[in-house]
Structure 1
Amino acid sequence: MMTMRHDNRRRMALRAALGLAAALAGQACMAQAYPSKPIKMVIPYTPGGSIDTVGRLVAEQLQKQLGQPIVIENHAGASGLIGSAAVQRAKADGYTLLFNASSQVYMPLVVAKPTYDAQKDFTPVAQIGYVPLVVAVNNDVPAKTLGELAQLAKTSPGKYTWATSGLGTTSHLSEEMVNRALKLDMEIIAYKGAVPQLTDVVGGHVSAAISPMPGVHPFVAGGRLRAIAVTSKNRVAQMPDVPTVAESGIPDFEVLSWYGIWGPAGMPADVVATLNREVARAVGTAGLKARFNDLSFVPTQSSPEEFRAMIRKDIESIGKAVKEANIKISF
C-alpha cells in the first residue's frame, strides 16, 4: 500500500513538473513568436510623397527580415491626424504601426484642439533618419534665389503663394518661418500630401513650396521645378549649386524632416526591442543605403529611449518657434 501511494506521489510530481516545463516552453515560444502574422503599417499621407516613398522602402526590407508581410495603408487627411488616430486606437500588440515624419510630434503644438499627446499616446519604436527640405518654385517664377523670390513677393503683394503638404507639417512650419524671417506676406495653401502640393506648383497654380527632398528631387531633376535653396545646415550632394536658406539671408536657419516608426501606447517592451533591432538592421543594409543616398536621406540608428529623448527635445525647441510665430490651426 505504501508503495502504491509513493508511486502515485511520484507520478503526480512528474506530471506537475512536466506541466510547468510545458508552460515555460509555451511562454518562451510566445515570446519568440513575434511576428506571427502580417503587420499593418499606416502612412498618414497620400501615396508617392516623401514619407510614403521612404516608408515603403523600409517596409519592404523589414518584411524580408521578419518573414511576415507588412501591409501599407495610406490614411491621408487632416495633416496626418486621421492616420495617427487610427494607430492610437489600435491594439498595442505590435501588429499596427505608424510610419510618419516629425509632424507627428509637431501637430499637437499647432492645432487649436490637440487630439493626442505626442509623448503619452504613442510608443516610439525607432527613428529612421532625416532629410533636408527644398525651396522650389514654378519655372515661370522669375526667381533664381530665395532673396529674389522675397523681393518679388514684396513688390507684388498677394501675387506669390506657398503650397504646403499639410498644416502643421515641417513644410508648413518652414514656410511660416521663412515668411516671418523675411517679412513676407505669401499666403500658404494647404494640400493633402506632397504629391498634390508639388503638382500644383508645377502646374503654376501656386508659386513655390518647401518640401522634403525625396519628393522634390524628381521634379527638379526632370526640369519641372527650380530649386532655389535647401533647409539643411550644409548644401546637399545631389544639388551642390543650390545654396542653403542660411546662405540666402536667414542666418542659422536649419529645418530637417525626420522620419520614424511608432505604435500605440503600451506596446510590450520585447516587441519594441525586436522592431527596433530589425529597423537598425534594415537601414544598415547596402541596398537600402544606396536608395537612401539617391534621396539625400540620412539614415540613423537609435534605441527607443534615445528616440523618446529626441522627441522630447524637439517638442521643446519647435514649440518655442511655434509660440513665437503664433501658429495655430483648426480643422
Structure 2
Amino acid sequence: MKTSNFRTRTTLTAMAFGFAASLAAAQSWPAKPITLIVPFPPGGSSDALARSITTPLSQTLGQPVVVESKPGAGATVGADYVAKAKPDGYTLLMGAVHHTIATSVYKKLPYDFEKSFTPITTVALVPNVLVVNAKSSATDVKSLIALAKAASGKLSYGSNGNGTVQHLIGTQFSSTAGVELLHVPYKGSAPLTTDLLGGQVDMSFDTLTPLVQHIKAGKLRALAVTTAKRSSTLPDVPTLAEAGMTDFNQGTWFGILAPAGTPKEVVAKLNAEMVKIIQSPEFKKRMEEIGAEPVGDSPAQMAAQIKDDTAKYAKLVKDAKVAID
C-alpha cells in the first residue's frame, strides 16, 4: 500500500512539474520572432489578410511576426512546411478553405489537414466574384454564358491552382450553365490578376480582395458574386443565384493554424490576441477596404468549420471528377 501511495505521489508530482513547466513556457512565449507562412504568392487575399493582422500582432506580442510566402501545389507546399515545423508557436500557417478541398483532390498528401494542425482562429471570409476584362462583350452572366457556348470550349477562366475553391466554382459554373470552359491554373491571385488585366485569360472566380481596386477603377467588370448574399463592398453586383444559377454559396475563408501539438496555453494566447485585433474598429475598417468580412472565432469553431467544409467539398470534388496525383 505504501509503495502504491508513493508511486501515486510521484506521478502527481511529475504531472505538476510538467504543468508548471508548460505554463512557464507559455508565459515566457514569445521569446523570439514568429513566422506566418502564406501558401500563396504575395499580392493575393491571404497575403493581404496576413499583413493586416501581423502588424498589430507584433506590437501586442512584443516580437516581430514575419510573413513568409511559400506557394505551390494549390497551397499544399506551405501547409506541408508548417505541418512538419516544431510545435512551439513560432511557425504558423495562413490556412484557407483551399486546404479542405486539397484533402479530396490530392491522392497523396504528406499531411492530414484535420490532424496535423491546431486551429487558432478564422481571420475573415472573402466573397468570390465572377469577373471579366472590361473589354469583354459580356455585360452580365447571361451574355457570358452565351459567349461561352459560342466559343466552343475556348473561353478560359483562371484559378489559384488545381483543386482550389476557384477551380471548383469554375467546374460547378460550367456544369450548371451547360458550357465548356478552359481551366488555367496559376500559383496565386497576383499572377492571375495580371493576366486577367492583360487579356491572357478571359475570366476568373477569384476572391474579391485582389480584384476590388481594378473593378472600381473600371479595368475589370464584376458580373456576380458566388456567395448567398451580395457583398457590402459591391452592393450593386448580383449573386449568381439572382442571375439564375441556383445552389451557389461559395466563399473563401482564411484562418491561422499552428502545427499539431502546440501548447494549449500558446494557442489560447494567440487566439485571445488575434480575436481582439479582428474585432477592433481599425481592423474592421481595413477589411471593408479590401472586401473581406472579419470573423474571429474560437479554435473549436474553426475546427468544426474545417470538418464541415472537408465533407462538403469532397462531394463537389467527386462530382467534378477532380484528382491530382
So what's the TM-score if we normalise by structure 1?
Answer: 0.89
SS in structure 1 opposite 2:247? coil
Tell me whether 1:207 sits opposite 2:202 in the alignment.
yes
> Following the alignment from structure 1 to structure 2, what is the Cα–Cα distance between the partners of residues 23 and 94?
18
Among 27, 30, 52, the alignment partner of 1:57 is 52
Who is 2:5 aligned against?
none
SS in structure 2 opposite 1:232? coil
Among 300, 312, 318, the alignment partner of 1:305 is 300
> Following the alignment from structure 1 to structure 2, what is the Cα–Cα distance between the partners of residues 267 and 230?
37
Contact persistence 2:34–2:65 (CA under 8 A): yes
Among 264, 269, 279, the alignment partner of 1:284 is 279
Contact persistence 1:108–1:115 (CA under 8 A): no
Who is 1:147 aligned against?
142
How many residue pairs get matched? 310
AA aligned to 2:97 is S
Tell me whether 1:80 sits opposite 2:75 in the alignment.
yes
Among 234, 240, 265, the alignment partner of 2:260 is 265
> Following the alignment from structure 2 to structure 1, what is the Cα–Cα distance between the partners of residues 69 and 186?
15
SS in structure 2 opposite 1:267? coil
Contact persistence 1:108–1:116 (CA under 8 A): no
User: What is the correspondence of 1:1-331 to structure 2 with a 5 Å cutoff?
Assistant: 29-330=24-325
TM superposition shift of 1:31 = 3.1
Q: What is the CA deviation profile of residues 217-268 of structure 1, one whole-angstrom value per residue up to 9, with x for unaligned ones?
A: 0111122111111011111222222111111121131101001011111111
TM superposition shift of 1:34 = 1.1
TM superposition shift of 1:329 = 2.6
> Following the alignment from structure 2 to structure 1, what is the Cα–Cα distance between the partners of residues 23 and 231?
48
- Do the aligned partners of residues 151 and 280 (structure 1) sit closer, same or farther apart at CA in structure 2, a change above 3 Å counting? same
Give the greater-gyration-radius structure (CA). Answer: 1
TM superposition shift of 1:178 = 0.6
Who is 1:19 aligned against?
none
SS in structure 1 opposite 2:53? helix
Unaligned runs of 5+ in 2: 1-16
Unaligned runs of 5+ in 1: 1-21
Q: What is the CA deviation profile of residues 116-160 of structure 1, one whole-angstrom value per residue up to 9, with x for unaligned ones?
A: 211111111111120110100012220011121111111121331
Contact persistence 1:131–1:296 (CA under 8 A): yes
**Superposition misfits of 4+ residues, deviation over 6 angstroms:** 22-27
AA aligned to 1:208 is M
Q: What is the CA deviation profile of residues 191-234 of structure 1, one whole-angstrom value per residue up to 9, with x for unaligned ones?
A: 11001111111111110001001111011112211111101111
TM superposition shift of 1:26 = 7.1
Query: Identity rate of aligned residues, in percent?
Result: 36
Q: What is the CA deviation profile of residues 14-39 of structure 1, one whole-angstrom value per residue up to 9, with x for unaligned ones?
A: xxxxxxxx999876543311111110
- Do the aligned partners of residues 284 and 185 (structure 1) sit closer, same or farther apart at CA in structure 2, a change above 3 Å counting? same
AA aligned to 2:303 is R
- Do the aligned partners of residues 177 and 27 (structure 1) sit closer, same or farther apart at CA in structure 2, a change above 3 Å counting? closer
> Following the alignment from structure 1 to structure 2, what is the Cα–Cα distance between the partners of residues 282 and 202?
34
AA aligned to 1:289 is K
Who is 2:10 aligned against?
none
> Following the alignment from structure 1 to structure 2, what is the Cα–Cα distance between the partners of residues 239 and 176?
24
So what's the TM-score if we normalise by structure 2?
Answer: 0.91
- Do the aligned partners of residues 271 and 158 (structure 1) sit closer, same or farther apart at CA in structure 2, a change above 3 Å counting? same
